[in-house]
C-alpha cells in the first residue's frame, strides 16, 4: 500500500489522449469529469495534438501534456525509468492525490515517489496482456514488475479479464494487494429498440487489417451474398480493399442509431479487442451480435440469446449464425429482445455511478 501522508482534492488521469478527443478511454474520462463538476481534474496525457481536439474543455479540467517533441518524450521516459530525478516540477503531482491510470503499463510514466505518495487506481483499458504490457506473453516485463505493488484499486471489465490479468500477475511471481472491482464499459447509445428485421448485417469501426481483421469481413460478404448483404461504417487505410469486394462501404456515422433500422446484425470479427464498446451500443438498439471469441470480455458480453459467439476464424460458423438469427421475423425478434434486455447492464449513467463509487471508496 502507498504511504499517503495527507489528502489532496485533485484527481489525476494518466492516459494516451485528453478528453477533448474522440475515443473509448477519452469518453470514460469525460463522463466522470462531467458527473463530478465540483471536482478538480488534471489530465496527464501521453499525446497532445491540437488537430485531434474535437470537444471543448470542461471548466473543472486542466490538461498537462508529457512533452510534444519525440526527443523530449524519450528523455522524460528515461528520467522516470532510471529514477534520476523524482521531483520533476513541470510534471509534479500533488501528494495525497488520486491517480487514475488507464492500463497498468502506464505506471512507467510515474516515479516511485509519486506511486508511494498517492492513491493509485488502475482502469483496465485493453485486453489483459496489453493492460499489463506482457503483449502475448505469460509474464510481465521486469521494468514494470516493481511498480505493480503500488496499485491500490484495480477496475476490470469482466470476471474473465480479472481471472486472466491475475493469472499473468501470479505467473510473474508478483504479490499485489489491491481492492478489485468489476465494471463494464458503458454504452454511449441511449436505449431504444429500433433495430428491424432485414437481410443486412453490418460492421462498425476502423478499417484495419491487424487488429480489426478487416479481411475477414471481405470473406464473409462473399459467402453470404446475395442472400445477405454486409454494410461497413467507418474509416481507415484498408478502405480500398473493402471497395473492391462485396462489402458495401457506407462512410462514417456518429452513432449506431443512425443505421439500426437498415441493419439487423452486428459483426465483430477482430483479432483482439479490449472490451468491444460497439457490442453494447448494438444491444442498446436491440441489435443481435456475432462475435469471434478472440478476447476475454466477449464471453461475458455475448450472453445466451443476444447473438452468437463464434470460434476465431470460423467463417462458415459466421454464415450459419447469420442464417439462424435471420431465419424469420419471429426468430430475429427473440434475439433482438434478448439483446435489448442485456443493454440494461450498460446504461451510461449507471456505469458512471459505479466509477465514482470506485474512486471514492476508502482503501
Contacts 24+ apart (CB under 8 A), 258-261: 259/202, 259/231, 259/233, 260/194, 260/195, 260/196, 260/285, 260/286, 260/287, 261/194, 261/195, 261/196
CA-to-CA distance for 47 and 310, rounded, in angstroms?
A: 36
The whole-number pLDDT of residue 76 equals 52
The whole-number pLDDT of residue 8 equals 81
The whole-number pLDDT of residue 54 equals 86
User: Residue 23 is part of which domain span?
Assistant: 10-186+348-360
The whole-number pLDDT of residue 328 equals 98
Give the residue from 191, 186, 348, 188 showing the smallest Cα distance to 285. Answer: 191
Residue 266 domain flag:
yes
List per-block mean pLDDT (blocks of 10 residues) for the chain, which spans 363 residues: 68 93 91 97 88 90 68 50 41 89 94 95 94 84 94 98 96 94 97 98 96 97 98 96 98 96 98 95 98 96 98 98 98 98 98 98 94
The verdict on 51 and 178 lying in the same domain is yes
Quickly count: other Cβ atoms within 10 Å of residue 350's Cβ: 12
The verdict on 162 and 239 lying in the same domain is no
The whole-number pLDDT of residue 135 equals 75
The verdict on 302 and 322 lying in the same domain is yes
- CATH, residue 212: 3.40.50.2000
What residues contact residue 180 under an 8 Å CB cut-off, 6+ apart? 153, 154, 155, 156, 162
Residue 285 domain flag:
yes
The verdict on 77 and 119 lying in the same domain is yes
Please list the residues that pair with 235 across neighbouring strands. Answer: 206
The verdict on 207 and 150 lying in the same domain is no
Give the residue from 152, 160, 206 showing the smallest Cα distance to 184. Answer: 160
The verdict on 265 and 333 lying in the same domain is yes
pTM of the model: 0.89
The verdict on 251 and 303 lying in the same domain is yes
The verdict on 215 and 335 lying in the same domain is yes
Q: How many domains does the chain have?
A: 2
The verdict on 128 and 59 lying in the same domain is yes
The whole-number pLDDT of residue 72 equals 52
Only one residue has cell 469501426, namely: 205
The verdict on 69 and 207 lying in the same domain is no
Q: What is residue 323's three-state secondary structure? A: helix
| Alpha helices (H) along 180-261 | 214-224, 239-243
| Alpha helices (H) along the chain | 24-35, 70-82, 112-117, 128-131, 142-145, 159-171, 214-224, 239-243, 277-284, 297-301, 315-325, 329-342, 348-360
Only one residue has cell 459483426, namely: 267
Residue 192 domain flag:
no
The verdict on 39 and 29 lying in the same domain is yes
Residue 4 domain flag:
no
The rounded radius of gyration (Å) of the Cα atoms in the chain is: 22
CA-to-CA distance for 214 and 241, rounded, in angstroms?
A: 9
Residue 195 domain flag:
no
The verdict on 102 and 24 lying in the same domain is yes
E strands, 194-254, are: 200-206, 229-235, 248-251
Amino acid at each position: 500500500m502507498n504511504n499517503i501522508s495527507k489528502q489532496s482534492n485533485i484527481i489525476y488521469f494518466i492516459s494516451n489522449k485528453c478528453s477533448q478527443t474522440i475515443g473509448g478511454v477519452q469518453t470514460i474520462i469525460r463522463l466522470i469529469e462531467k458527473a463530478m463538476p465540483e471536482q478538480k481534474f488534471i489530465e496527464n496525457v501521453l499525446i497532445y495534438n491540437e488537430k485531434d481536439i474535437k470537444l471543448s474543455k470542461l471548466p473543472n479540467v486542466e490538461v498537462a501534456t508529457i512533452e510534444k517533441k519525440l526527443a523530449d518524450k524519450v528523455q522524460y521516459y528515461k528520467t522516470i525509468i532510471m529514477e534520476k530525478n523524482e521531483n520533476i516540477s513541470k510534471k509534479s503531482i500533488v501528494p495525497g492525490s488520486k491517480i487514475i491510470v488507464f492500463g497498468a503499463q502506464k505506471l512507467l510514466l510515474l516515479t516511485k515517489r509519486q506511486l508511494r505518495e498517492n492513491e493509485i487506481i488502475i482502469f483496465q483499458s485493453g485486453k489483459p496482456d496489453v493492460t499489463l504490457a506482457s503483449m502475448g506473453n505469460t509474464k510481465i516485463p521486469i521494468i514494470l514488475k516493481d511498480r505493480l505493488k503500488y496499485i491500490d484499486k484495480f477496475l476490470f471489465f469482466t470476471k474473465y479479464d480479472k481471472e486472466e490479468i491475475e493469472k499473468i500477475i501470479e505467473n510473474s511471481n508478483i504479490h499485489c494487494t489491491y481492492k478489485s472491482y468489476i465494471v463494464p464499459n458503458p454504452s454511449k447509445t441511449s436505449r431504444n429498440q429500433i433495430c428491424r428485421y432485414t437481410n443486412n448485417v453490418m460492421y462498425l469501426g476502423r478499417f484495419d487489417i491487424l487488429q480489426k481483421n478487416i479481411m475477414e469481413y471481405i470473406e464473409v460478404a462473399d459467402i453470404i451474398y446475395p442472400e445477405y448483404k454486409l454494410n461497413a461504417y467507418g474509416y481507415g487505410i484498408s478502405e480500398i480493399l473493402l471497395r473492391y469486394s462485396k462489402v458495401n462501404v457506407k462512410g462514417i456515422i456518429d452513432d449506431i442509431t443512425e443505421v439500426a433500422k437498415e441493419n439487423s446484425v452486428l459483426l465483430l470479427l477482430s483479432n483482439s479487442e479490449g472490451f468491444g464498446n460497439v457490442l453494447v451500443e448494438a444491444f442498446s438498439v436491440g441489435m443481435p451480435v456475432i462475435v469471434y471469441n478472440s478476447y476475454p470480455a466477449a464471453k461475458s458480453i455475448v450472453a445466451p440469446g443476444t447473438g452468437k459467439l463464434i470460434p476465431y476464424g470460423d467463417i462458415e460458423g459466421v454464415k450459419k449464425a447469420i442464417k439462424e438469427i435471420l431465419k424469420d421475423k419471429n426468430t430475429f425478434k427473440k434475439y433482438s429482445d434478448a439483446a435489448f434486455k442485456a443493454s440494461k447492464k450498460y446504461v451510461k449513467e449507471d456505469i458512471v455511478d459505479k466509477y465514482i463509487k470506485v474512486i471514492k471508496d476508502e482503501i
